[in-house]
């Protein structure tokens, strides 16, 4: 079968590899759609803090069940499903406490282990979730929505609170959508005006803030909050300056959520500001089974049209072009999807 492989930073190839054979307790899946995650793009650029090469990317998945054993989950051949791609060890302190998303030996598909960008994959049955009739392309978007939703849940966002999301990429936009679904007043912020406008207009967010300069950012925060600062700020970029933006923009006694991933350090950070403002700072990693199940139901009920996030779709054989163009035009392209059908 064929698979997409990042051989090294900047080099993507379509390779011939052995078709996988499922083991007991696993299902054989035929890939239908896969989204290129920001971490996949980071792997392509050599900026992913966790990846090694060569690597088959991909963990935003929609697939058809080809073979599966009898099971108590109602999963059968022919069903269209999505998957939980975060493999946890089951024995570390985090896992023993049920915090499987924060496993100390976490292996995410496409990062620490081979991903799903191949014609066929195998998956443990317990990691497969019924798509409940949702279109395959929509199901490929459930995982990134889970990442965003988990971060918003970490902050316990409440109705009427003012929330700033820094980053109008897929994760940032979906975090804004999740916060809005909880009744918050949401501002989306980015340096890329085209992507910012698309997110603001497409998803009906309350406000937008173009981060064109430190002065413009400070002025915008003051105007949007009457000088109070935001109740919650969510970092969805993974850069030192955007983390600093979130610290600066949050109110005294507010909450800051860090979803973005970076290899870079933040220099000369005035950490006493956390004490001075009495901030609650949350890391947010991966997602939980409950996030997948809740969001499949939410999207099924018509709460969110996830496919609006997709700006570009490529066939599997055009994957090298997809990664190259996404890397060159990340300021304009939002969610890029690979079509394996």
Where residue 232 sits, what CATH number does that domain have?
A: 3.40.50.720
- Interatomic CA distance for residues 152 and 284, integer angstroms: 9
Would you say 87 and 75 are in contact if contact means Cβ atoms under 8 Å apart?
A: no
Neighbours of 144 (CB within 10 A): 24
Is 315 contained in some domain?
yes
Q: Tell me what pLDDT residue 262 has.
A: 78
The verdict on residue 288 lying in a domain is no
Alpha helices in 8-164 (DSSP H): 38-45, 93-96, 136-139, 142-154
What pLDDT is stored for residue 307 in this prediction?
94
Question: Does residue 292 form part of some domain?
Answer: no
Residues 156 and 267 in one domain: yes
Phi, psi dihedrals of residue 194, rounded to the nearest 5° = -60, -50
66: in domain: yes
User: How confident is the model at residue 38, as a pLDDT?
Assistant: 87
Expressed as residue numbers, the domain containing 130 is 2-140+305-339
Global confidence as pTM: 0.93
Same domain, 202 and 257: yes
Give the side-chain half-sphere CA count within 13 A for 98: 2
**43 and 65 in a common domain:** yes
Same domain membership, residue 181 and residue 52? no
Please enumerate in sequence order all residues whose Cβ is within 8 A of that of 47, keeping only pairs 6 or more positions apart, or say none.
Answer: 262, 263
User: Does the residue 295 lie in any domain?
Assistant: no
Whether residue 224 is found in the same domain as residue 244: yes
Q: How many Å apart are CA 324 and CA 207, to the nearest integer?
A: 32
How many alpha carbons lie under 13 Å from residue 174 in its C-beta half-sphere? 28
Q: Give the pLDDT confidence score for residue 273 in this predicted structure.
A: 96
Does a structural domain hold residue 17? yes
Q: Among positive and negative, which fits the CA dihedral 263, 269, 273, 275?
A: positive
Structurally, the chain folds into a number of domains equal to: 2
pLDDT at position 248 is 98
Q: How many CA atoms lie within 13 A of 232 on its CB side?
A: 28
State whether 233 and 328 are in the same domain: no
pLDDT score at 7: 97
What letter does residue 102 receive in the DSSP assignment? G
Considering the domain architecture, whether residues 168 and 265 belong to the same structural domain is answered as yes
Q: Is 107 helix (H, G, I), strand (E, B) or coil?
A: strand
Q: Which residues are paired to 207 by β-bridges?
A: 187
For the chain, residues with pLDDT lower than 50 are none
CA distance readout (Å), 132 to 126, 295, 304: 16, 11, 15
Same-domain pairing of 177 and 269: yes
- Measured distance CA(176)–CA(199) in Å, rounded: 9
Specify whether 263 is located in the same domain as 198: yes
Task: Kindly state the DSSP code that residue 197 receives in the 8-state scheme.
Answer: H
DSSP-assigned beta bridge partners for residue 81: 63, 130
Judgement on whether residues 161 and 46 belong to the same structural domain of the protein: no
Of 149, 129, 153, 150, the closest CA to residue 140 belongs to 129
Alpha-carbon distances of 47 from 9, 51, 116, 338, rounded to whole Å: 9, 9, 20, 21
Q: Tell whether 122 is covered by a domain.
A: yes
- Strand 128-130 vs strand 230-235: parallel, antiparallel, or unpaired? unpaired
Residue 195 belongs to some domain of the structure: yes
156 and 232 inside one domain: yes
Q: State residue 267's pLDDT score.
A: 84
**First-to-final CA distance of the chain:** 13
Instruction: Name the nearest CA neighbour of 36 among 107, 118, 129, 140.
Output: 140
Same domain for 17 and 97? yes
Q: Which residues pair with 232 in a beta bridge?
A: 163, 255
CATH classification of the domain holding 39: 3.90.180.10
């Amino acid at each position: 079968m064929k698979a997409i492989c990042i051989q090294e930073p900047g080099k993507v190839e379509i390779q011939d590899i052995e078709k996988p054979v499922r083991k007991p307790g696993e299902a054989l899946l035929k890939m239908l759609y896969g989204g290129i995650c920001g971490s996949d793009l980071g792997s392509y650029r050599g900026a992913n803090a966790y990846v090694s090469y060569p690597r088959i990317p991909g963990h935003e998945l929609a697939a058809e069940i080809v073979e599966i054993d009898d099971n108590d989950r109602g999963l059968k051949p022919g069903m269209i499903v999505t998957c939980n791609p975060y493999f946890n060890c089951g024995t570390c302190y985090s896992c023993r406490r049920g915090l499987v998303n924060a496993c100390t030996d976490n292996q995410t598909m496409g990062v620490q282990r081979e991903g799903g960008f191949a014609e066929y994959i195998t998956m443990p049955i317990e990691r497969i979730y019924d798509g409940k009739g949702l279109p395959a392309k929509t199901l490929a978007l459930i995982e990134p929505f889970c990442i965003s939703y988990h971060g918003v849940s970490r902050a316990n966002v409440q109705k009427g609170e003012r929330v700033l999301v820094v980053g109008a990429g897929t994760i940032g936009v979906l975090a804004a959508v999740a916060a809005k679904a909880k009744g918050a007043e949401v501002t989306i912020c980015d340096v890329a005006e085209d992507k910012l406008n698309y997110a603001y207009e497409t998803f009906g967010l309350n406000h937008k803030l173009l981060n064109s300069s430190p002065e413009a950012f400070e002025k915008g925060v003051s105007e949007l909050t009457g000088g109070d600062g935001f109740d919650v700020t969510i970092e969805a970029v993974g850069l030192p300056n955007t983390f600093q933006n979130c610290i600066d923009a949050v109110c005294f006694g507010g909450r800051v959520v860090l979803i973005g991933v970076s290899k870079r350090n933040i220099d000369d950070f005035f950490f006493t500001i956390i004490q001075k403002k009495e901030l609650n700072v949350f890391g947010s990693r991966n997602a939980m089974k409950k996030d997948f199940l809740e969001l499949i139901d939410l999207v099924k009920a018509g709460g969110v049209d996830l496919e609006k996030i997709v700006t570009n779709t490529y066939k599997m054989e055009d994957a090298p072009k997809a990664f190259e163009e996404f890397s060159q035009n990340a300021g304009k392209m939002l969610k890029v999807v690979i079509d394996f059908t």
